[in-house]
Amino acid sequence: MDLKSILTPDMVNLHLKGKTKEEIISEMVDVLVASGKVSNRDEALKSVIEREQKMSTGMKHGIAIPHGKTDVVSDMVACIGISDEPVDFDSLDQEPCRIFVMTLSPTNKTGKHLQFLAEVSLLFKSADKRREILEAKDNEAVIQILTE
């Protein structure tokens, strides 16, 4: 999968301000809405919150991958956000998160969504990649780090 075709500089927020899981998710949905690829913000937000209530998407190493399935997108969309402060996300390792990757997919399409999640989770196994992302100075740098 070509991450550059999904994650573009306009799909990055280097300074998320939210202090809670819900605030972070809301900010991330706003990034997707701003891209013009989400037809209904409330439905998009609802799909991610409902998924999160089933089981936290907080992974390990300060990363969370909130996602949802909804028909307010015609194809999978994704964005990445970095929080200036660690946020409790009910992570597997009980550590707070600073790196967030959100995806929204149509309810009838799964392959691309799963492939994207698998590829992104592999990237973040590298402590160096995580550090580089947290230190990135602009949106283009984040995309370059993820796609090199």
Helix or strand (DSSP H, E) at 107: none
Report d(CA 41, CA 104) in Å as an integer: 11
d(C-alpha 33, C-alpha 127), whole Å: 31
Task: From the candidates 15, 61, 67, 113, give the one annotated as an active-site residue.
Answer: 67
| 67 in catalytic set | yes
Of 69, 92, 2, 78, nearest to 37 by C-alpha is 78
Q: Which of 50, 11, 2 is nearest to 32 (CA)?
A: 11
Taking the C-alpha atoms of residue 78 and residue 12, their distance in angstroms, rounded to an integer, is 9
Give catalytic residue positions: 67
